[in-house]
């Protein structure tokens, strides 16, 4: 298309970036925030405090509670808290209704938690784009493939990077931005390739369902039922009586002591259990499925052990998955990074932010270059220039508004979860109005970054004023996950303030430059 | 251990940068790096040392972390961090 | 050829042509995985789908790299037609023609 392959790739890189840059930024930004989904949920729900109970005592208490309150249910579920989530709950089904009870560190039970989407809002947004049905997943898949193409074409543009390390030239902003774009691109090559490839493979069959539909009546569901190992169906004919196992205890209690002992020999890490499911409660052939935490595997499927519920004897368990299914699970696991310890999580977050900066600087460079060359249609140039503000600064403002809405809306307000989401989209829309109303995009950037900085500091202030008790409790209990949000918002505020200030200085410099090129009236008068 | 992996990668990238003429000239502006340059042998040898340090960091990561896949993720993350650090350092030199 | 028409044709070739060919090749990949590697149907379908994305990627890049757009479009149409016509030979997996 262009004279050489390299020039064609540069052209393709430019247009992929310009057309899909905003969508990619939204997906990357909310995806990066999703590295801290359970932590954010914990921050946004004041009742989720640090839990220091041992797994043994939590399991004992859970089974005691379920035995008393859910004796008639046929399935029990116990979700143990991780260091990140502090969410300990039990769940069972009563007829058609599912009941969930959450426990805190003092073993108090509650069925009423703060109604909020929490961190899941950002995580779900990043692959559903808040669209109904599966539309968002298809669009996210297209974006992932476009990003892979953009990475390849971008690498080809700078394919000499092994011979020449990139540094940042600070003299001119445009050169600095281009250098930063190249540097960020190189730093995030393995990360972005892994994220985009795994993003596509999570829904590999959904995007190309034709073979599944041709071979299975239920299409993708049929494929999944074949490749995902499952346990045999339970007969559930004979009920357990007190005489059989534990002496005269009604209702009969699962032999979890024996199960925990077996597990401790096989899973050696601290707090190895993530979830326990009991199927066929009250029957002789009932089984317990214990799921391991994801700290020891990259895959999205952690180990599971299966036991007879009332004897504690181990059962056969799940078959291993086939290699292609494991490959997909490993990629899925890499994408979600549930295995990542805190330091690695921050590194991945940093890489995610670099990826966001990569996309944002790409679009900014496009605008700057087109302005210089003056060959671009002024309408599309203005659209992209202002749209960049909305896509980047607007999204940051909207995300901060979500947090602030959560903190300010009362606990008991009905439908508060929807109000938080509405705040997000309303602020994003207002950012668009502001960006297009402001004559100069640079001024819009400055003002929106300054506002974002203010909102970050405001979040800190709200926390310190309205949630003092929680802060005091957290300091006593060393709840570092919750407490770390305060300095995180503070530092974000400082960074956004610095960015706004830099842009402000550039605006002033540009104004001085334009004024000094105009001939002064005094000189003219003298010449007369 | 991860810190040691990171340090090895930092040194590896430093050697690779110094092996390039363009960056070796920049290094003249830094007292520390000028001393380092005096010690280092020819450009080719410096490149070799750089690559060996990177490989050593990989071996250390895989040896010290039980699960290979998690070790690989650690190594890739610290690699980007090390490259960013070196790039920022050289950018700050006049 | 007018530059805009050229770009439009290449885009259609890349997006629609690439998708069509990779959808068709997913059947052939599934067939290969089913017979060569003796995978179960579901596993072969998963492997085939995953492999087809690389085909899409290559075709997308190629659509913007080749010199003659019309020849490339003709090739893609012909190739898709052949793949589609021969489809009964490889699908469904358990009892093709």
Closest CA to A74 of A361, A330, A277, A262: A277
Q: How many CB atoms lie within 10 A of CB A128?
A: 16
Q: Which residues, including other chains, have CB under 8 Å from residue A40's CB and lie 6 or more apart?
A: A33, A118, A119, A122
Interface probe, candidates A347, A349, A354, A355, chain B, greatest B C-beta count within 10 A: A347
SS3 letters across C20-42: HHHHHHHHHHHHHHHHHCCCCHH
Residues of chain A under the 70 pLDDT cut: 159-166, 242-251, 518-528
Q: What is the reported pLDDT for A162?
A: 56
pLDDT digits (tens, 9 = 90+) for A276-285: 999 988 888 8
A3 contact C CB<8A: no
pLDDT digits (tens, 9 = 90+) for A164-198: 666 777 777 778 888 899 999 999 999 999 999 99
d(CA A265, CA B10): 40
Q: Which residues are A102's β-sheet partners?
A: A89, A110
Q: Are C83 and C59 in contact (CB under 8 A)?
A: no
Look up tokens 């950002």; give the residue: A122
Domain-by-domain residue ranges, chain C? 3-89
| Contacting partners of chain B (3+ CB pairs under 8 A) | A
Closest CA to A323 of A331, A315, A313: A331
- B52: distance to nearest CA of chain A, Å? 16
d(CA A508, CA C17): 51
Candidate from B16, B20, B67 with C-beta closest to A296: B67
pLDDT digits (tens, 9 = 90+) for A366-393: 999 998 887 778 889 999 999 999 999 9
Q: How many CB atoms lie within 10 A of CB A305?
A: 19
d(CA A211, CA C50): 12
Closest CA to A16 of A152, A193, A185, A198: A152
Q: Please provide residue B36's backbone torsions phi and psi, each rounded to the nearest 5 degrees.
A: -60, -45
Cα nearest neighbour of C22 on chain A = A208
A143 contact C CB<8A: no
Candidate from C26, C43, C94 with C-beta closest to A210: C26
Residue A267: strand, helix, or coil: coil
Candidate from B23, B26, B77 with C-beta closest to A347: B77
Give the CA distances from residue A60 to residues A146, A257, A277, A339, in Å, rounded to whole numbers and listed in that order. Answer: 50, 9, 14, 26
Examine the predicted complex and report whether its ipTM is higher than 0.90: yes
- B to C contact (≥3 Cβ pairs closer than 8 Å): no
The span from the first CA to the last CA of chain B, in angstroms, equals 33
Question: Residues 324..343 of A with a Cβ closer than 8 Å to C: which?
Answer: 324-325, 327-328
Span B50-70, average pLDDT: 93
Q: What is the reported pLDDT for A160?
A: 64
In B1-94, which residue ranges form alpha helices assigned H by DSSP?
2-18, 21-27, 31-39, 43-64, 68-92
Closest CA to A239 of A278, A286, A277, A279: A286
Are C50 and A210 within 8 A, CB to CB?
no
Chain B residues close to A330, C-beta within 8 Å: 69
Interface probe, candidates C34, C36, C59, C64, chain A, greatest A C-beta count within 10 A: C64
Domain-by-domain residue ranges, chain B? 2-92
Q: Are B77 and B5 in contact (CB under 8 A)?
A: no
Interface probe, candidates A11, A205, A208, A228, chain C, greatest C C-beta count within 10 A: A208
Q: Are A408 and A402 in contact (CB under 8 A)?
A: no
Q: What is the reported pLDDT for A334?
A: 95
d(CA A357, CA A353): 6
Q: What is the reported pLDDT for A253?
A: 82
Closest CA to A155 of A113, A116, A186: A186
Residue A309: strand, helix, or coil: coil
Candidate from A296, A330, A351 with C-beta closest to B77: A351
Cα nearest neighbour of A206 on chain C = C49
Are B74 and A164 within 8 A, CB to CB?
no
Residue A42: strand, helix, or coil: helix
Are B87 and A167 within 8 A, CB to CB?
yes
Q: What are the structure tokens assigned to C3, written together?
A: 């530059």
Question: Residues 330..349 of A with a Cβ closer than 8 Å to B: which?
Answer: 330, 334, 337, 339-340, 343-344, 347-348
Q: What is the reported pLDDT for A146?
A: 97
C61 contact A CB<8A: yes
Q: Are B90 and A167 in contact (CB under 8 A)?
A: yes
Span B26-53, average pLDDT: 81
Candidate from C7, C43, C50 with C-beta closest to A227: C43
Are B73 and A164 within 8 A, CB to CB?
no
A27 contact B CB<8A: no
Candidate from A1, A227, A325 with C-beta closest to C64: A1
Q: What are the structure tokens assigned to A177, written together?
A: 């931005």
Q: A327: part of which helix (H) or strand (E)? A: helix A323-336
Q: A443: part of which helix (H) or strand (E)? A: helix A441-466
Closest CA to A291 of A64, A52, A82, A49: A82
Are A211 and C42 within 8 A, CB to CB?
no
| Contacting partners of chain C (3+ CB pairs under 8 A) | A
Q: How many CB atoms lie within 10 A of CB A320?
A: 9
Q: What is the reported pLDDT for A247?
A: 47
On the 0-12 / 13-18 / 19+ scale of CB atoms within 10 A, A382 is middle
Residue burial B14-30, b: 16+ Cβ < 10 Å; e: rest: bbbbbbbeebbebbeeb
CA A491 from centroid of its chain's CA atoms: 20
- A221: distance to nearest CA of chain C, Å? 10
- A341: distance to nearest CA of chain C, Å? 29
Pairing of strands A88-94, A287-292: unpaired
Q: What is the reported pLDDT for A337?
A: 94
Pairing of strands A97-103, A88-94: antiparallel
Query: From chain B, which residues contact A within 8 Å (Cβ)?
Result: 2, 13, 16-17, 20, 22-23, 26, 67, 69-70, 73-74, 76-81, 83-84, 86-88, 90-91
Span B35-53, average pLDDT: 84
Q: What is the reported pLDDT for A192?
A: 96
Q: A305: part of which helix (H) or strand (E)? A: strand A304-308
Instruction: With a cut of 80, say whether residue C97 has pLDDT above it.
Output: no
Chain A residues close to C51, C-beta within 8 Å: none
Q: A316: part of which helix (H) or strand (E)? A: none
């Amino acid at each position: 298309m262009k004279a050489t392959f390299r020039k064609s790739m540069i052209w393709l890189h430019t247009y992929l970036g310009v057309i899909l840059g905003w969508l990619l930024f939204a997906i990357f930004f909310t995806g990066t925030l999703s590295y801290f989904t359970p932590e954010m949920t914990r921050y946004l729900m004041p009742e989720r405090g640090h839990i220091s109970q041992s797994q043994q005592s939590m399991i004992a208490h859970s089974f005691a509670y379920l035995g008393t309150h859910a004796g008639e249910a046929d399935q029990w579920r116990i979700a143990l808290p991780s260091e990140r989530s502090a969410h300990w709950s039990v769940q069972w089904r009563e007829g058609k209704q599912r009941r969930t009870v959450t426990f805190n560190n003092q073993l108090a039970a509650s069925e009423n938690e703060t109604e909020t989407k929490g961190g899941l809002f950002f995580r779900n947004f990043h692959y559903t784009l808040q669209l109904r049905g599966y539309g968002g997943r298809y669009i996210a898949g297209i974006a992932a493939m476009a990003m892979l193409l953009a990475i390849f074409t971008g690498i080809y543009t700078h394919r000499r990077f092994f011979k020449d390390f990139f540094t940042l030239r600070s003299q001119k902003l445009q050169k600095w931005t281009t250098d930063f774009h190249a540097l960020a691109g190189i730093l995030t090559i393995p990360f972005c390739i892994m994220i985009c490839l795994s993003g596509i493979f999570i829904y590999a069959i959904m995007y190309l369902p034709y073979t599944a539909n041709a071979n299975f009546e239920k299409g993708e569901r049929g494929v999944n039922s074949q490749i995902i190992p499952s346990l045999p169906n339970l007969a559930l004919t004979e009920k357990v009586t007190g005489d059989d196992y534990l002496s005269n205890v009604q209702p009969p209690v699962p032999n979890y002591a024996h199960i925990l002992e077996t597990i401790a020999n096989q899973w050696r890490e601290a707090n190895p259990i993530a979830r326990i499911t009991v199927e066929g409660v009250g029957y002789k052939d009932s089984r317990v499925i214990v799921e391991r935490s994801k700290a020891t595997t990259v895959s999205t499927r952690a180990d599971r052990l299966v036991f007879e519920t009332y004897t504690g004897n181990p059962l056969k368990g799940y078959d291993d998955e086939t290699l292609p299914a494991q490959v997909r699970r490993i990629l899925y696991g890499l994408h979600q990074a549930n295995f990542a310890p805190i330091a690695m999580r921050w590194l991945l977050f940093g890489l995610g932010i670099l990826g966001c900066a990569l996309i944002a600087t790409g679009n900014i460079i496009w605008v700057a270059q087109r302005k210089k060359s003056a060959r671009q249609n002024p309408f599309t140039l203005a659209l992209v220039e202002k749209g960049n503000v909305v896509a980047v600064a607007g999204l940051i403002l909207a995300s901060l508004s979500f947090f602030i809405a959560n903190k300010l809306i009362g606990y008991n307000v009905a439908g508060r979860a929807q109000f938080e989401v509405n705040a997000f989209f309303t602020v994003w829309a207002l950012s668009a109005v502001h960006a297009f109303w402001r004559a100069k995009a640079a001024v819009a950037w400055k003002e929106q970054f300054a506002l974002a900085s203010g909102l970050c500091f405001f979040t800190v202030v709200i926390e310190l004023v309205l949630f003092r008790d929680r802060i005091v409790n957290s300091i006593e209990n060393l709840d570092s996950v919750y407490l770390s949000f305060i300095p995180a918002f503070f530092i974000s505020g400082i960074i956004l303030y610095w960015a706004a200030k830099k842009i402000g200085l550039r605006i002033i410099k540009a104004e001085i430059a334009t004024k000094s090129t105009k001939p002064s009236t005094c000189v003219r008068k003298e010449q007369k | 251990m991860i810190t040691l992996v990171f340090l090895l990668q930092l040194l590896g990238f430093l050697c690779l940068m110094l092996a390039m003429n363009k960056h070796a000239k920049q290094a003249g502006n830094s007292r520390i790096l000028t001393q380092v340059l005096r010690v280092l042998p020819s450009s080719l040898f410096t490149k070799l040392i750089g690559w060996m340090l990177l490989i050593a960091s990989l071996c250390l990561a895989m040896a010290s972390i039980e699960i290979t896949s998690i070790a690989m993720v650690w190594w890739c993350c610290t690699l980007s961090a090390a490259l960013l650090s070196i790039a920022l350092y050289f950018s700050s030199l006049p | 050829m007018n530059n805009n028409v050229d770009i439009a044709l290449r885009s259609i070739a890349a997006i629609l042509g690439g998708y069509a060919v990779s959808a068709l090749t997913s059947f052939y990949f599934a067939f290969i995985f089913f017979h060569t590697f003796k995978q179960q149907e579901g596993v072969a379908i998963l492997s085939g789908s995953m492999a087809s994305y690389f085909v899409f990627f290559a075709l997308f890049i190629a659509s913007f790299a080749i010199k003659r757009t019309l020849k490339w479009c003709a090739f893609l149409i012909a190739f898709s037609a052949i793949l589609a016509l021969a489809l009964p030979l490889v699908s469904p997996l358990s009892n093709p023609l």
